[in-house]
Amino acid sequence: MHRPIQSISRELPGRPERLLLLPDQLVFPLDARTHRGAVQTCVRSGETLGAGQVIAEGEWQTLHPPLDGVGTEAEANRGVIRPSSEQTPMAADPMPLDDRARLPDYLRLMGLVGMGGGCFPYARRLARLLDKPPHTLVINAVECEPGIGIDESLMLHEKRFVLEAVNTFTRLLGMKRTVLAVRRSARGHLETAWGGEAIDWLEMSDTYPGGAGKLISAKLTGHMPQPGTLNSDLGILITNVASLRAFGKRLLEGCPSVDRPLTLLTPNASARQLLVPLGISAGDVLRTCGVTLDAERQVLVAEGRMMGRAVELGFCVGKGTNALMVLNRESRWERPEQPCILCGSCFDACPLTLHPIGMANRIRAQRRSRALEAQLNTCFLCGACSAVCPVDIPLVQIFREGKQWLRKNS
């Protein structure tokens, strides 16, 4: 038996605070893996750059600096800019969009990606949908990673951008219905801001991973999608709140995707919701917020306790960084794994009713089968099974490697 991981936060997320600072440098990864496709820098060393100017472009993605600065030579798959002003952008005119055919290019030029962590370019996603547009738009405001509150904060305090984006998507794609997916316990306070809108509410559970796209579409349709089925095949477009806000900001203020709303969580303090310039280092964010990291006793985690990873102070905030967390180290994180005692907790924890330890054993023994492929392709690496394992078997890491192994050998 396992205890579900509760996503409930007791506090109402506050208004996002804009972080004003002049960092030494802003770093942008230029590798194809991060951007789901190649991007080429168009900055010469020593070139003066304005905030919001294009610094790299790819087939589906564009990058812009959030601050004025000077470009340096791109090295080791990353572009570095030395900022010269701490003012975040950007005085531009609204950039409304009325032509559906222009939507992918519009999204590419503003550099919109899925900001829930996947970082999949919206341009690529929407280009696929133009022929067969979805009928339902889902605003995924289910903040299921424990401790993160940024999406709910944006829903409460940056509603006008989110709403503008929703209206534009539904108008351009001719969608018939908008669904707002929320955590059960968050519905009350979100209704104060969104109660009057013509949307349907979808309550998801208060436990992790209630906000997973698969679970949302399963709840919408009544069945779990079969492996390989995309939400778009079911006529559903699930969008992240931070992405909608970025799109709305472009529509209303002409501003490209240059900042990242994120939650900063530190021990013994309330969570802070921040608007952080892209490319800034985690160390700069902590310093500006007056947080010190005791490397002996604490660990810095990016993107959430469940799906995130331990990072160093030099880690640069990217479009998928929805949280920075300073956590006190726990001995269980460092303990070596022991043999499985078959307690069954991982089976209970899996939201897709997969067989985690069965998969892990077969991956380690490299025993490929139809059942393994079906399950591994369904698994979305939420880590709920790893979190409940009493003997610390790194199940989710095994599945990540297993997926690569399957891909390599298919």
Partner 1 sequence: MAQKEQLKGPFLRSGMDVRGMMWAMMSCLILTAAHFSLRYDGAYFPRFLLVVFLGWAMEWLYGLLCDGRSVWPRVSTGVTGALLALSVPAHMPLLPLLCGLLVAVWFGKCIVDRSALRVNPMILGRLFLMLVFAAPIQEWLAPGREISAITSATPLGLYKAEGITYGLGKLITGSIQGDWEGVYEMLPGAPGEVMPLLALFFGVILYWMGVLDWRPGVAFMGSFAIACAFLKMPILFHAAAGSVIFTSVYVITDPRSTPGSKAGRWMAGAVAGAITAAVRWHGYYPEGVVFGVLAANLLAPTLDRLAFALRGIFPIIGKKFRPFSNRWKLLS
The residues that touch ligand SF4, with contacts defined as CB under 6 A, are 340-346, 349-350, 352, 354, 356-357, 379-385, 388-391, 393, 395-396, 399
Residue type, 127: A
DSSP 71-111: E---BTTEEEEEE----------------GGGHHHHHHHHT
Nearer to ligand SF4, 140 or 178 (CB): 140
Whichever of 191 and 392 has its CB closer to ligand SF4, that residue is: 392
Angle, helix 241-253 to helix 150-157, in steps of 10 degrees: 40
Write out the binding residues for partner 1, residues 139-168 only, by CB under 8 A: 146
> What radius of gyration do the chain's Cα atoms show?
21
174 to 14, 26, 200, 239: CA distances (angstroms): 34, 39, 17, 16
Please, what is the angle between helix 159-173 and helix 150-157, to 10°?
Answer: 90
Q: From partner 1, ligand SF4, none, which one binds at residue 297 (CB under 5 to 8 Å depending on kind)?
A: none
- According to CB under 8 A, which one of 306, 323, 324, 363 is a site residue for partner 1? 306
Nearer to partner 1 (CB atom), residue 156 or residue 346: 346
Nearer to partner 1, 118 or 358 (CB): 358
Residue 309 interacts with, from ligand SF4, partner 1, none (CB under 5-8 Å by kind): partner 1
Among 61, 62, 88, 136, binds partner 1 (CB under 8 A): 136
Q: Using CB distances below 5 to 8 A depending on partner kind, what does residue 333 bind out of ligand SF4, partner 1, none?
A: partner 1
- For the CB of residue 340, give the shortest distance to ligand SF4 in the complex, in Å: 3
Output 159 or 400, the one with its CB closest to partner 1: 400
Of 102 and 333, CB closest to partner 1: 333
177 binds, among partner 1, ligand SF4, none (CB under 5 to 8 A by kind): partner 1
Residue whose entry in the numeric block shows the structure tokens 């399963």: 218
Q: Is 254 in the site for partner 1 (CB under 8 A)?
A: no
Closer residue to partner 1 in complex, CB, 146/254 = 146
How far, in Å, CA of 151 to CA of 156, rounded? Answer: 9
Which residue among 184, 343, 403, 406 contacts partner 1 (CB under 8 A)?
Answer: 343
CA angle 387, 388, 390 (to 5 degrees): 115
Which of 369, 407, 409, 410 is close enough to bind partner 1 by CB under 8 A? 369
Choosing from 171, 176, 297, 364, the residue that interacts with partner 1 (CB under 8 A) is 176
Of how many residues is the chain composed? 410
| End-to-end Cα separation, the chain, in angstroms | 36
**Binding-site string for partner 1 from residue 38 to residue 77, where x marks contact by CB under 8 A and - marks none:** ----------------------------------------
Rounded to 10°, the helix 395-408/370-378 angle is: 120
Rounded to whole angstroms, what are the CA distances from 81 to 67, 69, 92? 9, 6, 22
Amino acid of residue 178: T
Compute CA distances 240 → 70, 100, 301, whole Å: 32, 20, 21
Q: For partner 1, which residue of 62, 186, 345, 402 counts as binding (CB under 8 A)?
A: 345
Burial class (CB in 10 A: 0-12, 13-18, 19+), 111: buried
- Specify the residue, 95 or 343, whose C-beta has the smaller distance to partner 1: 343
Should residue 179 be labelled a site residue for partner 1 when binding is judged by CB under 8 A? yes
